[in-house]
Amino acid sequence: MRNLYPRFCNEFKNELEDVTVLDDFIIGKNYSSWDISILSQTYDTQSGIYLIGDND
């Protein structure tokens, strides 16, 4: 089987560094659990409270 990673990187080269960061969120605006899970990189919207930031 051929390695698809180089083809994937070539196809999506403009999007590879497009990530969500905390500064993308606006105070007072509502966000879905999916939006927040992308930031926290958990992708499990049933896990409850999301801990975001460097402090425990």
Domain regions of the chain by residue span? 18-56
Is pLDDT of 11 > 90?
yes
Kindly report the pTM of this predicted structure.
0.46
Give the pLDDT mean for 20-26. Answer: 88
Name the 3-class secondary structure at 10: helix
- The tokens of 46 are what? 């049933």
* CA neighbor of 40 nearest in space, from 24, 22, 28: 22
Is pLDDT of 1 > 50?
no
Cα Rg, the chain, nearest whole Å: 15
Dist CA 34 CA 15 (whole Å): 19
43, with CB counted inside 10 A (0-12, 13-18, 19+), is exposed
